[in-house]
Amino acid sequence: MSPAPLPAGETAHSATEGVTTVDGALALARQLGVERADAQALLAHLTGHDRAWLITHGDAPVAAEDLLRRLAAGEPLAHLTGVQPFHGLLLQVTPATLIPRPDTETVVDWALELLAARSGEPTVADLGTGSGAIALAIKAACPRARVTAVDLSADALAVAHGNGQRLGLAVQWLQGNWFQPLAGRRFDLIVSNPPYIAGDDPHLPALRHEPLAALTPGGDGLADLHALIDAAPGHLNPGGWLLLEHGWDQAAAVAQRLALRDFVDTGLRLDLAGRARASGGRLPGPATG
């Protein structure tokens, strides 16, 4: 429901109703220390208009105070709007999943390059899919890929499944622990953005609105990365690739583990800030298909 228009002469900010004007909301955001771009994105969502409209409609009423205060208190913008853009898709997100990060688009782009070099209908598995971000972005950009996505959390899978339906993208969604629901199956490409933050990382408290299990396996953060690398050869076709997102300081450890498990052609990709963010390699042998 859109908020009732303010009577003429009303001040820009009405504390009782939480209704303010666009300009009043931006002033409040500044006062609360909320990033202007975040405040604008929130106002755009609330008004149903884009940022250009906000600039020319500073007097328009908007009930933004409560949400701005929640944003200032650390709630993620994506939880307040319920959506997060990812690789050209608009995904619905809830507190049940990690909020997809732009850095993860690096992994998707790498996967799409590898898929472009293959003919036919390559098989892809996304492990720990969360909101479905990686699986759906791959399926959207490479419809001939047959994509399977796994998550341990039934609540996360419900979000992912809903995103798939809304976007009209056919992905097979399976619940279970990493490779457990994929027994006996092999893929041409396995991708994952597993929990990799160290258990004592000082940034974790700031991420408290997202599921801890999606962020950290505890310890040095490498446990799930290692487990995925160890098990992947049993689920890859000859020549099949494994791509993993990891922390900025984990590339060497991941490369070492990939080599230990006989992956070849190992390489890494940088995130948007230029830090090593994804590593991968392929099993020896000619790619089938």
- Which residues of the shown chain bind ligand GLN in the complex (CB under 6 A)? 98, 101, 103, 193-197, 207, 215, 245
Phi, psi of 148 (to 5 degrees): -120, 140
CB closer to ligand GLN, 171 vs 207: 207
Residues 6+ apart with CB under 8 A from 34: 68, 71, 72
Q: Helices 133-141 and 105-116: crossing angle, nearest 10°? A: 40
Query: Least Å distance between CB 270 and ligand GLN?
Result: 14
Query: Least Å distance between CB 192 and ligand GLN?
Result: 9
Query: Least Å distance between CB 244 and ligand GLN?
Result: 10
Cβ density class 11-47: b for 16+ within 10 Å, e for less? ebbbeeebbbbbbbbbebbeeeebeeebbbbbbbbbb
Residues 6+ apart with CB under 8 A from 249: none
Query: Least Å distance between CB 203 and ligand GLN?
Result: 7
Position 207: which residue type? Answer: L
CB closer to ligand GLN, 80 vs 215: 215
Total number of residues shown for the chain: 289
CB closer to ligand GLN, 62 vs 214: 214
Query: Least Å distance between CB 2 and ligand GLN?
Result: 34
CB closer to ligand GLN, 134 vs 182: 134
CB closer to ligand GLN, 228 vs 287: 228
Query: Least Å distance between CB 267 and ligand GLN?
Result: 20
Cβ density class 185-194: b for 16+ within 10 Å, e for less? ebbbbbbbbb
Query: Least Å distance between CB 198 and ligand GLN?
Result: 10
CB closer to ligand GLN, 43 vs 243: 243
CB closer to ligand GLN, 98 vs 182: 98
The alpha carbon dihedral of 25, 29, 35, 38 has a sign of negative
Position 136: which residue type? Answer: L
How is residue 12 written in tokens?
């820009």
CB closer to ligand GLN, 98 vs 276: 98
Between CA 152 and CA 98 the distance in angstroms is: 13
Query: Least Å distance between CB 103 and ligand GLN?
Result: 6
The alpha carbon dihedral of 67, 97, 205, 85 has a sign of negative
Between CA 232 and CA 185 the distance in angstroms is: 11
